[in-house]
């Protein structure tokens, strides 16, 4: 092992992954966003440009959870500002939801990527593993506690498993209102749908997009029923 690799091993692999100790003991979303910028709860901070914390109205009725920031999000420091975000905005609009009224975040707050095998600067998305998702979960739970949305939309398997556990399957659970117990008590309802990036990659893109809009309409209808 080279000295650099050894140092990295020392810093990362042997310790528990957990963002918990980095959470502030009090304060609202701004305090949490500031603290998350210095999170070292797992090794993903080492290669990413920065933490991408959630964004949006602190009293939003709808909270959307993605997987992790992508290349654009990592550069701009905001969730869902790249191609997947643009598709999501369009699908939400078609379902009758203005994305700017929602709070948008990710299960994991740092961009995980690899470089092309032959070398090169391109950063290729790599899915976070279970340990990283579990480590980052305290930030997501804090966002849920602070925003207290009525409906949570989970976008894809990583977000679904982060909130609903390892048995969650997008194909099985999508498009239905599922209760999300939090801290042992009743929480918001969850609507699951495939990740917008999966829609962008789908062979039948039109069909996948229609499915996404249809799932988002379940969230829109639920919100309309309890409109203040």
Query: Residue numbers of the site for ligand URA (CB under 6 A)?
Result: 66-70, 73, 79-80, 82, 84-85, 106, 197
For ligand URA, give the closer residue by CB, 80 or 103.
Answer: 80
Q: How far is the CB of 13 from ligand URA (least distance, A)?
A: 25
34 C-beta neighbours (distance < 10 Å), count: 13
Query: Tokens 């602070």 correspond to what residue?
Result: 146
Q: How far is the CB of 178 from ligand URA (least distance, A)?
A: 20
By beta carbon distance, the residue nearest ligand URA is 66
The answer for 153, left when phi > 0, alpha when psi is -120 to 50, beta otherwise, is: beta
Read off the tokens for 174: 């999508």
Q: How far is CA 134 from the centre of its chain?
A: 12
Q: How far is the CB of 106 from ligand URA (least distance, A)?
A: 5
100, β-bridge pairs: none
Q: How far is the CB of 131 from ligand URA (least distance, A)?
A: 18
For ligand URA, give the closer residue by CB, 32 or 109.
Answer: 109
For ligand URA, give the closer residue by CB, 51 or 197.
Answer: 197
**CB-based contacts of 28: which residues, under 8 Å, 6+ apart?**
58, 146
């Amino acid at each position: 092992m080279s000295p650099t690799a050894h140092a990295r091993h020392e810093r990362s692999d042997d310790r528990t992954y957990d963002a918990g100790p980095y959470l502030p003991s009090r304060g609202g979303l701004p305090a949490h966003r500031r603290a998350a910028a210095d999170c070292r709860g797992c090794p993903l901070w080492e290669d990413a440009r920065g933490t991408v914390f959630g964004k949006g109205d602190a009293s939003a009725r709808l909270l959307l959870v993605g997987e992790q920031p992508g290349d654009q999000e990592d550069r701009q420091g905001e969730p869902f500002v790249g191609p997947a975000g643009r598709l999501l905005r369009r699908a939400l609009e078609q379902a009758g939801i203005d994305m700017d009224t929602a709070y948008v975040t990710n299960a994991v707050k740092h961009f995980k990527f690899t470089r092309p095998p032959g070398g090169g600067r391109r950063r290729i998305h790599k899915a976070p593993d279970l340990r990283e998702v579990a480590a980052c979960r305290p930030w997501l739970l804090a966002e849920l506690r602070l925003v207290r949305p009525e409906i949570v939309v989970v976008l894809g398997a990583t977000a679904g498993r982060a909130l609903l556990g390892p048995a969650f399957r997008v194909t099985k659970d999508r498009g239905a209102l599922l209760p999300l117990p939090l801290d042992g008590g009743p929480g918001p309802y969850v609507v699951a749908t495939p990740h917008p990036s999966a829609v962008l990659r789908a062979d039948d893109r039109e069909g996948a997009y229609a499915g996404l809009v249809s799932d988002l309409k379940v969230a829109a209808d639920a919100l309309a029923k309890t409109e203040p």
